[in-house]
Amino acid sequence: MTVYLDHAATTPIRPDVLDAYTRALQVVGNPSSVHKFGQDARNSLEAARDSLAASVGANRSEIIFTSGGTESDNLAIKGLFWQRNAEEPSRKVIITAGTEHHGVLDPVYWLVDHQGAELALIPVNSQGEFDLDWLDDFLAKRGSEVALISLMWANNETGVIADIGRITELAKRQGIPVHSDAVAAFGHTPVDFARSGLAAMSISAHKVGGPVGSGALVVGRSVKLTSLVHGGGQERSMRSGTMDAAGAHAFALAADLAIRELASETARLNLLREQLVDGVLKISPDAIFSRGEAAGLAGTAHFTFAGCSADSMIFLLDAAGISVSAGSACTAGVNRPSHVLLAMGRTEDEATGALRITLGYTTTADEVKLFLEAFPAVYAAAKKAGLPSK
């Protein structure tokens, strides 16, 4: 029996979504065409926009369909920076955190290296929580220089949930737009764009049981940003290109199902995660549950193991038929410790022994039990092997 416990990387496409997606792919027509075939595709796309807007708490006009979270992050960060800096050249500062996904960090670093942006990193504590007192103080002193703030709703590695309402409240005083990468959060914790105060928010289909390659950037109706792609002017001229009606249809259905099940799944996964955390800490008393007492996603259990290599544990678990990860799938195979844990103050050795176990809608109590049965031998072998030589 194989056990999949890496839902934060991608979650299996839901059967109902796969069926709907397969049928939608057979619909012929470009949504921008005026004939019947095109309008049938357009109707499917716009119905998906309505549905997704309802799921995320937004107006339908605020949904900009993209290829996924990374594109959405790039569009938001570069687009907002270019727009604000063009309007007010003195606004060059971008505030973000060292614990962000590379979909946020890399475009920010690119803007610093190539577009004259200045980076300000908000401190995070040992549990991964943002220092909002620092943010308040920084904005009081330099708010007029800030072009945008980009801070994730929930961390994709540790699962810690941010106080987005407080962040946008502080930013509003200085007229600063806030973007949030909500890819890990949407469908797994309550998310309401209208109430959040955000200017833009990134979400992705494959994290909620939809297809890979479909996502959205939710952009406030009054928000202006400069497009990355120019062409036919689709999606409010923010994202030109032929629109993927089938992907949008599947994304909207997956989101709807995830939101309908959110309360019951949160309760169920909280119980399973608690069993998993308790079991791991009994097997390895020196293990550290990474987010401590901070509020976090129900399905995320992230640990560090002193004197162990994550690669060893992942390899041994995989040999036992159990799939987990060390962190973001985007950095899998990269021979360096988690940048998230380093930003949280962990040493390189501590960050090298990180293991992320993430549960989802397919996870059962039996699968958690199988993991806990396999883990003692895996942990003992990894502990014996120790850390890789530098």
User: Contact, 317 vs 378, CB < 8 A?
Assistant: yes
The whole-angstrom separation of Cα 202 and Cα 76 is: 8
The whole-angstrom separation of Cα 47 and Cα 53 is: 10
| 179, β-bridge pairs | 150, 200
Structure tokens at 327: 């962190």
Mode of pairing for the β-strands spanning 3-4 and 322-323 = parallel
CA–CA distances in Å: residue 168 to residues 23, 178, 325, 385? 41, 6, 32, 47
Structure tokens at 379: 């942990």
- Number of other CB atoms surrounding residue 149 within 10 Å: 27
The whole-angstrom separation of Cα 208 and Cα 175 is: 33
- Number of other CB atoms surrounding residue 307 within 10 Å: 15
The residue whose two tokens read 């940003």 is 225
- Number of other CB atoms surrounding residue 151 within 10 Å: 25
308 counts as catalytic: no
SS3 294: coil
SS3 279: helix
| From 25, 212, 330, 381, the catalytic residue | 330
The whole-angstrom separation of Cα 25 and Cα 249 is: 10
Structure tokens at 126: 């040992």
Residues ≥6 apart with Cβ < 8 Å to 222: none
- DSSP element (H, E) containing 215: strand 215-219
The whole-angstrom separation of Cα 251 and Cα 68 is: 10
- DSSP element (H, E) containing 300: strand 300-304
The whole-angstrom separation of Cα 273 and Cα 207 is: 18
Structure tokens at 162: 């941010």
Q: Which residues are catalytic?
A: 330
